[in-house]
Protein backbone atom coordinates (compact mmCIF):
# COMPACT_ATOMS: atom_id res chain seq x y z
CA UNK A 1 0.00 0.00 0.00
CA UNK A 2 1.08 3.55 -0.71
CA UNK A 3 0.95 5.87 2.26
CA UNK A 4 -1.60 8.66 2.12
CA UNK A 5 1.25 11.18 2.23
CA UNK A 6 2.02 10.15 -1.36
CA UNK A 7 -1.39 11.47 -2.36
CA UNK A 8 -0.49 14.83 -0.84
CA UNK A 9 2.52 14.92 -3.18
CA UNK A 10 0.24 14.44 -6.18
CA UNK A 11 0.71 10.67 -6.52
CA UNK A 12 -2.13 8.31 -5.65
CA UNK A 13 -1.64 4.55 -5.43
CA UNK A 14 -3.27 4.14 -8.83
CA UNK A 15 -0.92 6.82 -10.25
CA UNK A 16 2.11 4.83 -9.09
CA UNK A 17 0.68 1.59 -10.55
CA UNK A 18 0.14 3.41 -13.86
CA UNK A 19 3.72 4.71 -13.84
CA UNK A 20 4.97 1.13 -13.42
CA UNK A 21 3.25 0.28 -16.75
CA UNK A 22 3.94 3.53 -18.58
CA UNK A 23 6.60 3.59 -21.32
CA UNK A 24 9.44 6.07 -20.98
CA UNK A 25 8.94 9.35 -22.83
CA UNK A 26 10.21 12.93 -22.83
CA UNK A 27 8.79 13.65 -19.35
CA UNK A 28 9.02 10.22 -17.68
CA UNK A 29 11.89 7.82 -17.05
CA UNK A 30 12.73 4.93 -14.76
CA UNK A 31 15.94 3.46 -13.40
CA UNK A 32 16.98 0.77 -10.95
CA UNK A 33 19.15 3.43 -9.31
CA UNK A 34 22.80 4.36 -9.12
CA UNK A 35 24.29 7.80 -8.63
CA UNK A 36 25.27 8.34 -12.28
CA UNK A 37 21.94 7.13 -13.65
CA UNK A 38 20.03 9.42 -11.28
CA UNK A 39 22.38 12.38 -11.90
CA UNK A 40 22.21 12.16 -15.69
CA UNK A 41 18.41 11.81 -15.63
CA UNK A 42 17.96 14.84 -13.36
CA UNK A 43 20.32 16.93 -15.51
CA UNK A 44 18.49 15.84 -18.68
CA UNK A 45 15.07 16.73 -17.29
CA UNK A 46 16.45 20.00 -15.88
CA UNK A 47 17.70 20.99 -19.32
CA UNK A 48 14.52 20.04 -21.17
CA UNK A 49 10.98 20.39 -19.78
CA UNK A 50 11.26 18.73 -16.39
CA UNK A 51 9.75 15.34 -15.66
CA UNK A 52 9.30 12.41 -13.31
CA UNK A 53 11.94 9.82 -12.51
CA UNK A 54 10.86 6.51 -10.95
CA UNK A 55 13.75 4.83 -9.13
CA UNK A 56 13.51 1.11 -8.37
CA UNK A 57 12.25 -0.29 -11.66
CA UNK A 58 14.37 -1.53 -14.56
CA UNK A 59 14.02 0.06 -17.98
CA UNK A 60 11.22 -1.38 -20.16
CA UNK A 61 13.85 -2.27 -22.76
CA UNK A 62 15.34 -4.58 -20.11
CA UNK A 63 12.00 -6.05 -19.02
CA UNK A 64 10.72 -3.38 -16.61
CA UNK A 65 11.17 -5.54 -13.49
CA UNK A 66 10.25 -3.79 -10.24
CA UNK A 67 13.32 -4.31 -8.05
CA UNK A 68 12.77 -1.67 -5.37
CA UNK A 69 15.32 0.42 -3.52
CA UNK A 70 17.06 0.62 -0.19
CA UNK A 71 15.88 3.98 1.12
CA UNK A 72 19.23 4.67 2.79
CA UNK A 73 21.20 3.80 -0.36
CA UNK A 74 18.86 5.89 -2.52
CA UNK A 75 19.25 8.95 -0.27
CA UNK A 76 23.03 8.61 -0.50
CA UNK A 77 22.96 8.22 -4.31
CA UNK A 78 20.53 11.14 -4.71
CA UNK A 79 22.56 13.44 -2.43
CA UNK A 80 25.80 12.62 -4.24
CA UNK A 81 24.16 13.06 -7.65
CA UNK A 82 22.45 16.38 -6.90
CA UNK A 83 25.69 17.94 -5.59
CA UNK A 84 27.29 17.21 -9.00
CA UNK A 85 24.52 18.92 -11.04
CA UNK A 86 24.86 22.54 -12.10
CA UNK A 87 22.60 24.45 -12.12
CA UNK A 88 20.52 22.39 -9.72
CA UNK A 89 16.90 21.91 -10.80
CA UNK A 90 14.23 22.03 -8.14
CA UNK A 91 13.38 18.44 -7.20
CA UNK A 92 10.75 16.89 -4.98
CA UNK A 93 11.16 13.31 -3.84
CA UNK A 94 8.86 10.79 -2.27
CA UNK A 95 9.50 7.24 -1.13
CA UNK A 96 6.49 4.97 -1.73
CA UNK A 97 5.79 1.32 -1.09
CA UNK A 98 4.09 -0.62 -3.86
CA UNK A 99 3.88 -4.38 -4.38
CA UNK A 100 5.88 -4.92 -1.20
CA UNK A 101 8.92 -2.89 -2.30
CA UNK A 102 10.02 0.72 -1.84
CA UNK A 103 10.34 3.01 -4.85
CA UNK A 104 11.46 6.63 -5.13
CA UNK A 105 9.57 9.17 -7.19
CA UNK A 106 11.38 12.33 -8.20
CA UNK A 107 9.59 15.30 -9.73
CA UNK A 108 12.17 17.48 -11.51
CA UNK A 109 11.54 21.01 -12.78
CA UNK A 110 13.43 22.50 -15.69
CA UNK A 111 15.88 25.27 -14.78
CA UNK A 112 14.40 27.83 -17.15
CA UNK A 113 16.84 30.45 -18.46
CA UNK A 114 19.73 28.79 -16.60
CA UNK A 115 19.77 25.87 -19.10
CA UNK A 116 21.53 23.57 -19.83
CA UNK A 117 22.27 21.37 -16.79
CA UNK A 118 25.49 19.44 -16.38
CA UNK A 119 26.28 16.38 -14.30
CA UNK A 120 29.95 16.01 -13.37
CA UNK A 121 30.80 18.72 -15.90
CA UNK A 122 28.99 17.06 -18.85
CA UNK A 123 25.79 18.62 -20.23
CA UNK A 124 22.69 16.45 -20.76
CA UNK A 125 19.27 16.85 -22.38
CA UNK A 126 16.17 14.68 -22.41
CA UNK A 127 15.24 13.75 -25.98
CA UNK A 128 12.32 11.40 -26.51
CA UNK A 129 12.64 8.44 -24.16
CA UNK A 130 16.31 8.86 -23.24
CA UNK A 131 18.97 11.23 -21.93
CA UNK A 132 21.65 12.39 -24.36
CA UNK A 133 24.99 14.04 -23.78
CA UNK A 134 25.06 17.45 -25.44
CA UNK A 135 27.96 18.11 -27.80
CA UNK A 136 29.67 21.53 -27.36
CA UNK A 137 27.90 23.08 -30.37
CA UNK A 138 24.52 22.14 -28.85
CA UNK A 139 25.46 23.64 -25.47
CA UNK A 140 26.04 26.97 -27.24
CA UNK A 141 22.44 27.15 -28.48
CA UNK A 142 21.35 27.61 -24.86
CA UNK A 143 23.60 30.64 -24.34
pLDDT value at position 6?
39
* Rounded CA separation 61/58 (Å): 8
DSSP notation for 77-130: HHHHHHHTEESPPPEEEEEEEETTEEEEEEEE---GGGPPEEETTEEEEEETTE
The pLDDT tens digits of the residues spanning 42-72 come to 999 999 999 999 999 999 889 999 999 999 9
Strand order in the sheet with 117-119: 85-86, 117-119, 122-127, 130-133
Range from 3-12, 82-91, 113-122, 133-142 carrying the lowest mean pLDDT: 3-12
Amino acid sequence: MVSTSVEHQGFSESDVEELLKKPENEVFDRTVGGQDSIGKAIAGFGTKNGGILLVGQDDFKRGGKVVGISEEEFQKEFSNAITSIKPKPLTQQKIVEVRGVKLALLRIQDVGVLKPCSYKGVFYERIGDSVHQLPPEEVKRYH
